[in-house]
Amino acid sequence: MHRKEDARFVRGRGTYVDDVNLPGMLYGAVLRSPYAHARIVSIDTSAAQAHPRVKAVITGQVLESLKLAWMPTLSYDTQAVLATDKVRFQGQEVAFVVAEDKYSARDALELIDVEYEPLPAVVDARKALDPEAPVIRDDKEGKANNHIFDWSAGDEAATDAAFARAEVVVAQDVLYPRVHPAPLETCGAVADFDKVTGKLTMWCNTQAPHAHRTVYALVAGLPEHKIRVISPDIGGGFGNKVPIYPGYVCAIVGSIVTGKPVKWMEDRSENLMSTGFARDYHMHGEVAADRDGKIRALRVKVIADHGAFNGTAQPTKFPAGFFHVFTGSYDMEAAHCAVTGVYTNKAPGGVAYACSFRITEAAYLVERLIDVLAYELKMDPAQLRMKNLLKPEQFPYPSPTGWEYDSGDYPKALRLAMDIAGYEELRKQQAAELQNWLAGDHTGTLTGIGISFFTEAVGAGPRKHMDILGLGMADGAELRVHPTGKGVLRISVQSQGQGHETTYAQIVAEELGIPVDDIEVVHGDTDQTPFGLGTYGSRSTPVSGAATAVVARKVRERAKLVASAMLEVDEGDLEWEKGRWYVRGDREQGKTIQEIAMAAHSSLELPDGVEGHLDATTVYNPPNLTFPFGAYICVVDVDPGTGQVKVRRFVAVDDCGVRINPTIVEGQVHGGLADGVGMALMQLIAFDEDGNCLGASFMDYLLPTSVECPSWELGETVTPSPHHPIGAKGVGESATVGSPAAVVNAVMDALKPFGVRHADMPLTPAQVWRAIQGRPLRT
Ligand code: MCN
Ligand code: CUM
């Protein structure tokens, strides 16, 4: 089925935040710090105030008087809305100008005179805890270093013991560098505070409207029922639109101060330089194994660069997100990871870009370690994986770090990927090609074949274990069937391009037999939808998708009671087939869901205790996460002369359980694969030693295009989730989680004859070329 929402998108009729224009609306612009670390000596706004079209200039000092200079982050830290004492990263918000048009607002920024006293910056996270490192968060009382948290998972003693016994131990430092989700639509908001009603309406492209509303209520002290957050069409989120940014708060304050609606939209550089980035994990991994390749244990130490404010969004109990699924898809005795989070003079964030709460980092690490082990043991990486993959009979599988994988058939998925790729044949071609190279024919490129196998944990989450800022992660859903049999579904999650208006209507259609075009999905408006924590961590299908199936089944049960009154039979005598209840043994005697809907609203006398109308509500608290998985194979051509990498082929076998809309699933996978190729080969938010951001435009921060992407070759297996009402697992981040390792493994496979075991992403031509310099080709 085609996506319903595309009817407006392909006609250019979507409504994005920047399309919201209210009468009398003013425009805001943010003055940002040119320094990564500096003390603010003074801020003079008088010239900006005097600009004829400027309506307000807001500084940290103004906010301080309103107790709004600092706001809580989603990780129980604090973040400056506008800097008061110091600036702590380049691009940090220093002042906010509200003017009659956006050009005047920008012009007035240049009239603000800020005197800074530059301080040394902390740029390398691995040096953040050095005793001589400047203290970034001296705003926090008694804080004398840049330490945020230490967190660990697994059994350390058992892991150490397995390492002590091991025949083979290999270790590898692996960096997952800082990247940025870079959605095409940048972040923005229109805040409209009505002084008469005391109601704040906030149009804002957030991925989590309900969570934002609650946080605004807590921060600004506004009553929650007087806040309406509307998240209209969104041009990509990828996790970038989960956090609350200072610009949103400034727009709200601007509206309160001026009494007019205020629009704030970032430009591209502001988005890249100051909003939620991703990764920045410095990982040291070790694997213990037998000489025949049987893995015994994994041990990992991580330094996590969280930037100047700990603004990551992850369930409270898990400061490193779900990184502790780093044992991946493999069977082993023991595992242990220790993660240390540190402050640096960089933009805050850390969880974004289809991260699955740090599973991207975890999957990349373990898949690199497997290949490093294969390199040392001189084993084929596919064989080594097959030897260690979990077996179907091990599910539900309790992992050594405390997860319970719900279902899977891993060897089948890997075998299918190998068959689609023609793996054995590819290896033969590669060996023949290498012989030519060794014989002195250096005219062509070198083939590399890379495999990755990933397991994800998505659908946060069981309320018992998961909350964000104390808010449990269950999702509400409401379904109302009108008298004529048309339905409205209201859900708490919000689409940034994933096609929710289609897929959730499909779930209702499947459960009730109402045509999919007769169901409207309402989302993204806190006044119109039930509470829920929003779209990220591929949680919509596992949680809100389940809520949708459950609420549709509740309506079906209600319809049964109405049908029994209509047919004058006992409800126990009714059978369901898609779209109607009928009398068991007499198929002719039945009522369609549309007939039942009309009767439910009519004068028909209903049995005692049965309410009229046809609707239901539910709150779904998932019993467990869902564990999608996949097997990816990438084939690259590497030119040793230039370091250029070309992705020749990419095979992706995904298992996300039951697929609601196969085309949408394929689209999600295509997008994620492109993301993975981009991260592996070109994307990097880099900094110089003073903390200047070097990646703040699309000239420097390279996104992949169709030119760099091959024609994806997809395959699928279907292992339903046993605990999800329709057996579906999330898929929105799978390909981004799984694909970088396949690409990097492929490039390293091509460089193996040069004796190269590992090089860090992004594998730009320079990076690849450097890795092989001074290394003669050998077998
Ligand atoms: N789906 C399906 N069958 C399944 C699983 C999913 O048909 N078994 C469909 C769903 O119904 C939904 C889509 O695939 O329409 C993605 O579902 P899901 O995996 O539940 O992920 P979410 O809807 O929660 O989306 C979030 C996820 C995340 S966290 C990031 S980051 C990301 C991603 O989605 N951001 C995206 N994919 C994106 N795609 C687009 N176009 N834009 C983004 O910003
Ligand atoms: Cu981590 S990016 Mo998505 O979860 O919105």
Predicted interface score ipTM higher than 0.90: yes
Interval between CA 43 and ligand 2 midpoint (Å): 37
Question: Is 515 a residue whose pLDDT tops 70?
Answer: yes
Q: Which ligand is nearest to the CA of 312?
A: 2
User: What is the per-residue pLDDT across 134-164, written as a single tens digit (0 to 9) for each?
Assistant: 999 999 999 999 999 999 999 999 999 999 9
- Same CATH topology for 406-465+626-779 and 474-620: the answer is yes
Interval between CA 285 and ligand 1 midpoint (Å): 30
Q: Rounded mean pLDDT of 165-185?
A: 98
Q: Whose CA is nearest to atom 35 of ligand 1?
A: 238
Ligand 1 mutation pick, 538, 663, 703, 724, max ligand atoms within 8 A of CB: 538
pLDDT score for 607:
86
pLDDT score for 776:
86
Measured from the CB, is residue 656 less than 6 Å from ligand 2? Answer: no
CA–CA–CA angle 223, 227, 232 (5° rounding): 165
Question: Is 348 a residue whose pLDDT tops 90?
Answer: yes
Domain spans in the chain, listed from the N-terminal domain onward: 406-465+626-779, 474-620
Q: Which ligand is nearest to the CA of 548?
A: 1
CB count, 10 Å around CB of 623? 13
Tell me if the bond preceding 515 is cis, omega within 30° of 0.
no
Q: Which residues contact 11 (CB under 8 A, 6 or more apart)?
A: none
With tokens 């057996």, the residue in question is 727
User: What is the per-residue pLDDT across 656-706, written as a single tens digit (0 to 9) for each?
Assistant: 999 999 999 999 999 999 999 999 999 999 999 999 999 899 999 999 999
Atom of ligand 1 nearest to the CA of 730: 19
Return the structure tokens found at 303. 């330094």
Task: Give the separation between CA 640 and CA 754, rounded to whole angstroms.
Answer: 10
Question: Is 779 a residue whose pLDDT tops 80?
Answer: no
Measured from the CB, is residue 208 less than 6 Å from ligand 2? Answer: no
Band of residue 597 on the pLDDT scale cut at 50, 70, 90: very high
CB count, 10 Å around CB of 511? 22
Interval between CA 183 and ligand 1 midpoint (Å): 15
Q: Which residues of 730-765 are buried (b: 16+ CB within 10 A; e: fewer)?
A: bbbbbbbbbbbbbbbbbbbbbbbbbebebbbbbbbb
Count the alpha carbons within 13 Å of 281 in the hemisphere toward its beta carbon: 29
Q: Rounded mean pLDDT of 733-757?
A: 98
Q: Which residues of 556-570 are buried (b: 16+ CB within 10 A; e: fewer)?
A: bebbbbbbbbbbebe
Tell me which residues have their CB closer than 6 angstroms to ligand 1.
183, 236-239, 354, 496-500, 503, 535-541, 656-661, 664-665, 668, 671, 728-733
User: What is the per-residue pLDDT across 534-573, written as a single tens digit (0 to 9) for each?
Assistant: 999 999 999 999 999 999 999 999 999 999 999 999 999 9
Q: Which residues contact 425 (CB under 8 A, 6 or more apart)?
A: none
pLDDT score for 244:
95
- The fold of 406-465+626-779 is Aldehyde Oxidoreductase; domain 4 (3.30.365)
Q: Whose CA is nearest to atom 5 of ligand 1?
A: 730
pLDDT score for 608:
87
Question: Is 490 a residue whose pLDDT tops 90?
Answer: yes
**pTM score of the predicted model:** 0.98
Residue 389's Cα: distance from chain center in Å? 26
Q: Whose CA is nearest to atom 34 of ligand 1?
A: 732
Interval between CA 536 and ligand 2 midpoint (Å): 4
pLDDT score for 536:
97
pLDDT score for 149:
98
Percent of the chain with pLDDT strictly greater than 70: 100
Ligand 1 mutation pick, 456, 498, 739, max ligand atoms within 8 A of CB: 498
3-state secondary structure of 133: coil
Measured from the CB, is residue 151 less than 6 Å from ligand 2? Answer: no
Atom of ligand 1 nearest to the CA of 545: 11
Q: Which residues contact 289 (CB under 8 A, 6 or more apart)?
A: 166, 167, 168, 169, 170, 295, 296, 373, 377
Q: Rounded mean pLDDT of 642-647?
A: 97
Atom of ligand 1 nearest to the CA of 500: 15
Q: Whose CA is nearest to atom 2 of ligand 1?
A: 660
Task: Give the separation between CA 372 and CA 376, rounded to whole angstroms.
Answer: 6
685 exposure class (CB count in 10 Å sphere: 0-12, 13-18, 19+) = buried
Task: Give the separation between CA 486 and CA 518, rounded to whole angstroms.
Answer: 5
Residue 274's Cα: distance from chain center in Å? 18
Q: Rounded mean pLDDT of 507-528?
A: 98
Question: Is 483 a residue whose pLDDT tops 90?
Answer: yes
User: What is the per-residue pLDDT across 610-632, written as a single tens digit (0 to 9) for each?
Assistant: 899 999 999 999 999 999 999 99
C-alpha closest to that of 623 among 748, 473, 399, 438: 473
Task: Give the separation between CA 38 and CA 345, rounded to whole angstroms.
Answer: 10
pLDDT score for 570:
96
Interval between CA 426 and ligand 1 midpoint (Å): 33
User: What is the per-residue pLDDT across 403-462, written as a single tens digit (0 to 9) for each?
Assistant: 999 999 999 999 999 999 999 999 999 999 999 999 988 888 999 999 999 999 999 999
Strands 277-289 and 349-350: parallel
Interval between CA 278 and ligand 2 midpoint (Å): 9
The CATH code that applies to domain 474-620 is: 3.30.365.10
- What radius of gyration, in Å, describes the C-alpha atoms of the chain? 28
Measured from the CB, is residue 638 less than 6 Å from ligand 2? Answer: no
Question: Is 264 a residue whose pLDDT tops 70?
Answer: yes
Measured from the CB, is residue 277 less than 6 Å from ligand 2? Answer: no
Answer with the residue of higher pLDDT: 607 or 484. Answer: 484
Interval between CA 351 and ligand 2 midpoint (Å): 7
What is the maximum span of the chain, computed from C-alpha positions, in angstroms?
91
